[in-house]
Structure 1
């Protein structure tokens, strides 16, 4: 193994997903992930705290991206319209690799601990969006309700995107899901 090769993080992520799908999350070791990527376990730990982080790395950046979009929404936007702006930004950010997202979803769905971690991630996202709405002057109850609704749309749209047989862009599925929520309240 060479001392340095480009894209170690990406190679580790790809190797981990391959092994998680082939063997299962619990049955895969960090040493196996590193070996599959042509790297050392020490290199793995330079990029990820543990083998769960391979699946959740980038969560903080995604959260910040959504909050920045929400806060940057036009001042006259309603709380739900600001949430829509955030969802559009999230969909644009995540929608680049459907196959990777599908594989990630399969791994998480097969493991209770990972499902719990995903729910925690979604709860943190809802809290961050509610905080962003409060910074825009929205009262606590409305901010929380709009944020929770937005995260529900996010989850439903993402699930549809990775499971539907037809190839559609995530931003399209996200917008459609958001519009469906709005139509339910009429």
Structure 2
């Protein structure tokens, strides 16, 4: 087997998802995932710290959120900076070719309490990353927290809609729409 394998992390994620669907999360080992991907166990651990993380992309989303908020235009308000980050995520991570994978991934997560917990923790981490990135832009703490919480809720709504095979909108469009809806709902409270 070659030392370097192209697309190793993607291959591992696909292999893990297939195995989790076939035999369940608890009954799948890291060795089985690596073998299904045509890789070694050590290659698996170079990409992911454990088998749970294979479905969560390491720190990819956190990096995209931080970079997206930092790259928002200088005059953008907090929610516009968050929207910019959601656009970046749509272009980089939630592409149309990954929609089916996203729906299958969510079904596996929904079937396992450990994975649901991991997803909740990842969500909290992403919200914290949004808050920190907004504060680095000079947004006051409470405003940064509210914008990040609204952004996280919009992300969840958009991701749910994006996974629906009947929906053909791209993630960025869905996220901006969801952010507008969340903002309107919070104003009417």
TM-score by structure 2 length? 0.88
Structure 2 counterpart of 1:179: 180
Moved more, 161-170 or 100-109: 161-170
- 8 Å CA contact 2:16–2:33 kept in 1: the answer is yes
In 2, Cα distance between equivalents of 1:100 and 1:161: 11
- 8 Å CA contact 2:100–2:165 kept in 1: the answer is no
Provide closer, same or farther for how the CA distance between residues 37 and 149 of structure 1 changes in structure 2, counting only shifts above 3 A: same
1:18 positional shift: 0.4
Structure 2 counterpart of 1:47: 47
1:91 positional shift: 1.9
Provide closer, same or farther for how the CA distance between residues 166 and 81 of structure 1 changes in structure 2, counting only shifts above 3 A: closer
1:81 maps onto 2:89 in alignment: no
In 1, Cα distance between equivalents of 2:184 and 2:9: 42
Structure 2 counterpart of 1:28: 28
1:92 positional shift: 1.8
Q: CA RMSD in A?
A: 1.8
In 2, Cα distance between equivalents of 1:166 and 1:8: 30
Moved more, 159-168 or 94-103: 159-168
1:164 positional shift: 5.1
TM-score by structure 1 length? 0.89
In 1, Cα distance between equivalents of 2:177 and 2:160: 13
Q: C-alpha offsets along residues 31-51 of structure 1, whole Å, 9 cap, x if unaligned?
A: 221222233323322332221
Gaps in structure 1 of 5+ consecutive residues = none
Structure 2 counterpart of 1:138: 139
- 8 Å CA contact 2:157–2:178 kept in 1: the answer is yes
Structure 2 counterpart of 1:38: 38
- 8 Å CA contact 2:162–2:174 kept in 1: the answer is yes
Q: How many residues align structurally?
A: 184
Gaps in structure 2 of 5+ consecutive residues = none
